[in-house]
Amino acid sequence: MKTAEHIYAWGDSRRFNSYAGYFKRTFGERIQKLTIDAGFTCPNRDGTVGVGGCTYCNNDAFNPSYCQSVKPITQQLDEGIEFHANRYRRATKFLAYFQAYSNTYAPLEQLKRLYNQALSYPNVIGLVIGTRPDCISEETLDYLAELSKQYYIIVEYGVESCYNRTLERINRGHTFEKAVWALEETKKRGIKTGAHFIFGLPNESLEDMIAETKIISRLPLDTVKFHQLQIIKGAVMEKEYALSPNEFARFTVNGYIDFFIDFVEHLSPSIVIERFAGEVPPRFLAAPAWGLIRNDQLLAMFEKRLEERNTWQGKLFL
């Protein structure tokens, strides 16, 4: 006789608070994100706070092929729907995902024009806005708070590390305290919040990374993305890695899965995990990686290992 499945604190039987489960609880159906490149830049690229960008960054490695800033937003949304049509045929509602670079780094009137173009597109029910903590203003947040009364709005901040020494090392151009401020200001206005973190940044030990769980769990976060560091061709870090590979914690697939389980056991069960690993086309990689393994395969391995270890997100959370 089949035993009843255990239901965890987040409301389903999966052993972590998954993004798919969160969307099912929130919307009752699959919602597809459509990525947009709206032609933004970053303040540590244009000289405002620095030049050269973050040392690990090459945005071309993360943008889908249809995303090109020269295309109108409506065309990118058209092509995004076509791009995802075979794999996600059930999706009939969409979120416009402003992904490339810092998507609040412009005057408010320009932001309104771009966001409204996306929200005017048929069946787009909200915005996912990727940006930096130092590229948000209270004026912009007030505007997004008004939008959030009618649409699903989430601002995702690139935080990358909880340690200022690391943020300085990778040329982020802002402090962790600035990220905390941005998240708190966003959340107090009723806007959903997300954050992005990277594992394996230079001179961070496994102990340093595990210790971040206590800090991240205290942040006002709805969702979070975690990625393993990948050395991308053309990024400043490509040269740094070639010169000093011992400064970087490099993971095997199985080693990373076990590390992340150690991590997630200490993470607050209230935080939705949108992604726990990154996927970059092999042509962009400058250092040995995991071959052609896809994120869905990694997810299956992760969930199997959670079962084998009889553990779950937040098991050791205090």
Q: pLDDT tens digits, residue range 102-159?
A: 999 999 999 999 999 999 999 999 999 999 999 999 999 999 999 999 999 999 999 9
Query: Which residue, 4, 9, 15, 97, is CA-closest to 299?
Result: 15
Q: Can you give the pLDDT at residue 279?
A: 84
Under a CB-based contact definition with an 8 Å cutoff, are residues 274 and 225 in contact? yes
Residue 3 has pLDDT above 70, yes or no: no
Q: Can you give the pLDDT at residue 281?
A: 80
- The bridge status of strand 192-199 relative to strand 223-228 is parallel
Q: What is the pTM of this model?
A: 0.93
- C-alpha distances (whole Å) from 249 to each of 24, 56, 154, 204, 288 are 35, 14, 31, 7, 13
Domain residue ranges of the chain, discontinuous segments joined by +:
19-308
Element (H, E) at 215: helix 206-217
- Tokens standing for 77? 């949304």
User: Which segments of the chain are extended strands (E)?
Assistant: 31-36, 93-98, 124-131, 152-160, 192-199, 223-228, 272-275
Under a CB-based contact definition with an 8 Å cutoff, are residues 222 and 193 in contact? yes
| Mean predicted lDDT score pLDDT of the chain | 91
Query: Which residue, 129, 120, 124, is CA-closest to 157?
Result: 129
Q: Across the strands, what pairs with 193?
A: 155
Give 64's pLDDT tier (boundaries 50, 70, 90): low
- The bridge status of strand 272-275 relative to strand 223-228 is parallel
Other beta carbons within 10 Å of 242: 11
Which CATH architecture group holds 19-308?
Alpha-Beta Barrel (3.20)
pLDDT digits (tens, 9 = 90+) for 248-291: 888 999 999 999 999 999 999 999 999 999 888 878 887 777 87
DSSP 299: H
By CB neighbour count within 10 A (0-12 exposed, 13-18 middle, 19+ buried), where does 283 fall?
exposed
Residue 21's contacts (CB-CB under 8 Å, 6 or more residues apart) are 10, 11, 12, 14
pLDDT digits (tens, 9 = 90+) for 74-104: 999 999 988 887 766 677 899 999 998 899 9
- C-alpha distances (whole Å) from 33 to each of 3, 92, 312 are 36, 11, 27
First to last CA, the chain: 35
DSSP 124-157: EEEEEEEE-GGG--HHHHHHHHHHTTTSEEEEEE
